[in-house]
Amino acid sequence: MPIEVNGKSIETDYENFLVDPRDWNEDVAKEYARLEGLELTETHWKVIKFMREYYNEHLTPADVRHVTKFLVDELGTDKKDAKKRLFELFPYGYVKQGCKIAGMRKPRMWSTG
């Protein structure tokens, strides 16, 4: 079922993840966040930007451990607090909300805790 963003229909898979991550833009992120009941903060956007940059470099979504390390560096906190913060940002899970909002395909090869 596609999502509608600014009058444009964007193809998604059966779980509502983008079929093509190149269809992503900030308006797509805002629409996904709205659908998830989240208001994106500055920290959300930093994580999303990191995820997009990681994807563009590696052509695969960042594993939760990479995002956690990013938050350790960004927030100057330890790993446990960074992981806790990640799940405060995306309370229904890194894949369910974080990857979807950042325009990733649903990761299939790894667990996100």
Flag whether pLDDT at 33 surpasses 90. yes
pLDDT value at position 7? 93
pLDDT band at 109 (very low <50, low <70, confident <90, very high): low
Domain ranges of the chain: 3-101
Number of CB atoms found within 10 A of residue 89's CB: 21
pLDDT value at position 65? 93
pLDDT band at 81 (very low <50, low <70, confident <90, very high): very high
pLDDT value at position 113? 43
Q: What is the pTM of this model?
A: 0.90
